[in-house]
């Protein structure tokens, strides 16, 4: 059985396509790498969807927190406090059991108790809160002169925000936002270790890595494979966000451009 057969059997195992049974003996390096890679589909799915949708809510939260009106300000402050002040792990558990009890009241909530939607909602709120705080900090440090110049040109309200404040906010927040994106992808590994069950053993990369480590009682193969996948994923994120950063900074003189340097400061 060559490695290509293994890829055909297990390559999409995490989506329920291919071989049903997980390998029970003869844990070759190929099988471990393929199955863990198959699990990465879930990590990428959770990370990408939460990041893209969270971006919009984060902008709204930042604007709300900087608002002069008390209602949006208090709402955003509480939302950000709630999701930044508690562990994501507990949020997963709480949300799972909450959706479970809501399901018995209204069947609309049935899909929320499975990971693909329920965990995604939690990750969406979580990353929106963390990014919202980053964007809020950037919003406060938008240079006064930029806003005054916009006023002088007759910009106000939505056009001023859309064309002047928002791009500058993004530009200032981008290095920190890159860091947040990396940690969001790392956080996706928690999904199947919290309350959310892996339906028919369709788990993420860590789920399979843990499966192999438990079966072989040897952590020195499965976890380094997983680490390798994540290092590649992290490099891809840095590359993509660096490209966006260059675009955001394209109007500035070379010396004033801020570079995305990955500082793993665990700034959350």
Binding site for other proteins (CB under 8 A): 25, 27, 81-82, 84-91, 93-94, 97-98, 100-101, 182, 186-187, 189-190, 193, 206, 209-210, 213, 215-220, 223, 226-227, 230-231, 234-235, 262, 264-268
Query: From the CB of 98, what's the least distance to other proteins, in Å?
Result: 5
Residue 107 in contact with residue 84, Cβ under 8 Å? no
Query: From the CB of 27, what's the least distance to other proteins, in Å?
Result: 8
Question: Closer to other proteins at the Cβ: 25 or 69?
Answer: 25
Q: How far apart are CA 31 and CA 37, in angstroms?
A: 10
Question: Closer to other proteins at the Cβ: 120 or 165?
Answer: 120
Question: Closer to other proteins at the Cβ: 59 or 188?
Answer: 188
Question: Closer to other proteins at the Cβ: 218 or 258?
Answer: 218
Question: Closer to other proteins at the Cβ: 134 or 150?
Answer: 134
Query: From the CB of 155, what's the least distance to other proteins, in Å?
Result: 31
Query: From the CB of 188, what's the least distance to other proteins, in Å?
Result: 8
Query: How crowded is residue 110: how many other Cβ atoms within 10 Å of its Cβ?
Result: 14
Question: Closer to other proteins at the Cβ: 101 or 258?
Answer: 101
Question: Closer to other proteins at the Cβ: 240 or 267?
Answer: 267
Query: From the CB of 93, what's the least distance to other proteins, in Å?
Result: 5
Q: How far apart are CA 187 and CA 191, in angstroms?
A: 8
Residue tagged 């006023």 (tokens): 151
**Distance from the Cα of residue 220 to its chain's centroid:** 27
Name the 3-class secondary structure at 2: coil
Question: Measuring CA to CA, which residue among 238, 130, 240, 228 is closest to residue 187?
Answer: 130
Query: From the CB of 60, what's the least distance to other proteins, in Å?
Result: 22
What is the SS3 assignment for 39-82?
HHHHHHHHHHHHHHHHHHHHHHHHHHHCCCCHHHHHHHHHHHHH
Tokens of 197: 């069950």
Query: From the CB of 79, what's the least distance to other proteins, in Å?
Result: 13
CA-CA-CA-CA torsion sign (78, 83, 85, 86)? positive
Q: How far apart are CA 172 and CA 143, in angstroms?
A: 10
Residue 132 in contact with residue 57, Cβ under 8 Å? yes
């Amino acid at each position: 059985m060559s490695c290509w057969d293994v890829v055909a059997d297990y390559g999409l195992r995490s989506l329920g396509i291919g071989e049903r049974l997980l390998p029970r003996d003869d844990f070759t390096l190929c099988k471990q790498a393929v199955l863990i890679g198959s699990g990465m589909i879930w990590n990428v799915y959770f990370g990408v969807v939460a990041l893209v949708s969270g971006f919009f809510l984060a902008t709204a939260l930042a604007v709300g927190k900087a608002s002069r009106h008390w209602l949006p300000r208090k709402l955003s402050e509480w939302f950000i406090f709630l999701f930044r002040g508690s562990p994501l792990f507990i949020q997963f558990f709480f949300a799972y059991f909450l959706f479970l009890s809501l399901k018995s009241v209204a069947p609309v909530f049935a899909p929320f108790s499975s990971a693909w939607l329920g965990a995604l909602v939690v990750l969406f709120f979580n990353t929106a809160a963390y990014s919202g705080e980053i964007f809020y900090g950037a919003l406060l440090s938008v240079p006064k002169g930029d806003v005054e110049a916009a006023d002088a040109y007759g910009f106000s309200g939505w056009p001023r925000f859309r064309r002047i404040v928002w791009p500058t906010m993004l530009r200032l927040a981008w290095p920190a936002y890159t860091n947040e994106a990396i940690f969001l992808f790392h956080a996706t590994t928690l999904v199947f270790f919290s309350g959310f069950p892996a339906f028919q053993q369709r788990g993420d990369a860590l789920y399979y890595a843990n499966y192999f480590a438990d079966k072989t009682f040897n952590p020195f193969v499965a976890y380094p494979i997983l680490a390798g996948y994540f290092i590649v994923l992290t490099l891809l994120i840095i590359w993509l966000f660096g490209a966006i950063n260059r675009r955001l900074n394209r109007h500035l003189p070379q010396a004033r451009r801020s570079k995305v340097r990955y500082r793993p400061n665990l700034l959350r």
